[in-house]
Amino acid sequence: MTKAAQDTLLVQAGRELKASGVSVNPPVVRASTFVFKSLGDFQTAGKTPYSTPFYGRVGTPVSLAFEKAVAELEEGHAAISASSGLAAITGVFLAFLSQGDHVLVPDSVYDPVRRLCTRTLARMDIETSYYDPMIGAGIVELIKPNTKLIYLESPGSGTFEVQDVPAIAKIAKERGIRTAIDNTWATPLFFKPAKLGVDAVIHAATKYIVGHSDAMLGVVTTSEDAFLPVRVALQDTGACAGSEEANLGLRGLRTMGVRLRQHHQSGIEVARWLATRPEVMKVFHPALPDCPGHAIWKRDFSGASGLFSVEFKPLAEGSMAAMIDGLQHFKIGFSWGGYESLVLPMHPETSRVITSWKERGSVVRFHIGLEDVSDLIADLEEGLGRLRLA
């Protein structure tokens, strides 16, 4: 049988129909405890706890189905679900790093990851160095004898630089250094880092995979030799995904292809429109030619999601609040990846790049949802009319 297309996998992966008259999606099994008919059955299940229901914290039928589906989409060895995206990231760091080790992290990284490094990892005597996300093969100059992990985030949080993942992964492989990447923005549909040699591909499944802003969920797809270290780290920290959340992740996968195509189209249309506005200094969207790493995005990615940032020209005091508070179709809120459009002012201290914006203009992150794009643009046009330049 020929390999199924990606849209077919989205509908069918992780769904094994072994008999007639069964539910189209795996049912939710609410269980902490699984019982066995004999000691032999119990011992057999204990030898394969990551593929057979054994104990709720290790996995349930629905979480195992979700993991199988994600791994197939990522074209990786296997996947491990977690209670959130940050829990998944933490598990990867703990799997690959020990006391005295060194990790390289992009300077535009997701702020909770920076806090993880400066607080938790620092207490464990793990050293973090922050690198320019556009460094590419130049990262070789930053590698130390004790470097054990290179972490990537492409595109970067807030500033949306697209990293040269193949170049960095190649250098890491040659030196026996593990690599991990946050692939939440692109999803497995638009970018497949596992095929480029990345050891651990992380998703805040809370976002585009769940797709409805109603569950916290994380997932990591790994190479074969990285699976057990990550699996054990997540198990040891108790960061398991609940059955209900894993079920919502499976539900989200079934429609993710349709949703992401709309996010891609609407996001680019709104970003291009904003780039023409006199109030705007710069739009940070990987599909726009002047975004850092645009050529890499064209080379490595097959699409874009609906998240990007806008740098406005310096504004008069109170102008940003006047614009945002009056928006009808954009709501103020953290996270993204749901069906709804969101707006969020960025903090200047978030990263090296954003710090430079502190003296220039205001930066706002937009998530373009599934609303009619003409309504969104009309809403933004009215909002921009409330801005006053400094």
Active site residues: 57, 110, 182, 207
Please name every residue paired with 332 in a beta bridge, in sequence order, or none if there are none.
343
What is the C-alpha to C-alpha distance for residues 330 and 318, in angstroms, rounded to an integer? 18
Which of 277, 235, 237, 303 is CA-nearest to residue 387?
Answer: 277
Q: What is the largest CA-CA distance in the chain?
A: 76
Q: How many residues does the chain have?
A: 390
Residues 6+ apart with CB under 8 A from 339: 211, 212, 213, 259, 369, 370
Q: Using DSSP, state whether 353 is helix, strand or coil.
A: helix
What is the C-alpha to C-alpha distance for residues 107 and 158, in angstroms, rounded to an integer? 11
Phi and psi based region of residue 156 (left: phi greater than 0; alpha: psi -120 to 50; beta: remaining): beta
Which of 323, 322, 343 is CA-nearest to residue 334?
Answer: 343
Distances (CA, A) of 343 to 96, 372, 381: 35, 16, 14
What tokens appear for 147 in the block? 């470097």
Query: Cβ of 48: how many Cβ atoms within 10 Å?
Result: 9
Report DSSP letters for 201-229, one per residue: EEE-TTTTTT-SS----EEEEE-HHHHHH
342-345/331-332 β-pairing: parallel
Q: Using DSSP, state whether 120 is helix, strand or coil.
A: helix
218-222/200-203 β-pairing: antiparallel
Please check whether residue 66 is in contact with residue 220, taking contact to mean a CB–CB distance below 8 angstroms: no
What is the C-alpha to C-alpha distance for residues 78 and 367, in angstroms, rounded to an integer? 30
